[in-house]
Amino acid sequence: MAMGRPKAALPLSPEQLAQLESMAGSRLLPAGLVARVTIVLLGATGKVNQPIARDQFVTNDNQNARPFVWTATANSIFAKVQRLCKRISGTAH
């Protein structure tokens, strides 16, 4: 069962649609504005808010992806594990 208010229709004229589509593909406009334009276009096609938000997060997360970089050495990690094992050995748990 849907919760909240019913989704209002978002009618766009052909001129508005063309302008928004050109803005969505722009590399000169600020990224936040392009993201908002994309959200409006998705809403105009009938997509609901939750999938729009999920898709925008995934797209943004994938565009800004960076490889994971280890900051600790293997020896320091191993030393921490050894200290933990010494601390918990012999406990009555």
* 25-76 confidence digits (pLDDT tens): 888 988 888 888 888 888 888 777 778 777 777 776 677 777 778 788 888 8
For residue 21, give the H/E element and its range: helix 14-24
CA 79, CA 82: separation in Å to the nearest integer?
5
| Between residues 13 and 46, the one the model is more confident about | 13
Quick one: CA torsion of 39, 42, 43, 46, rounded to 10 degrees?
-170
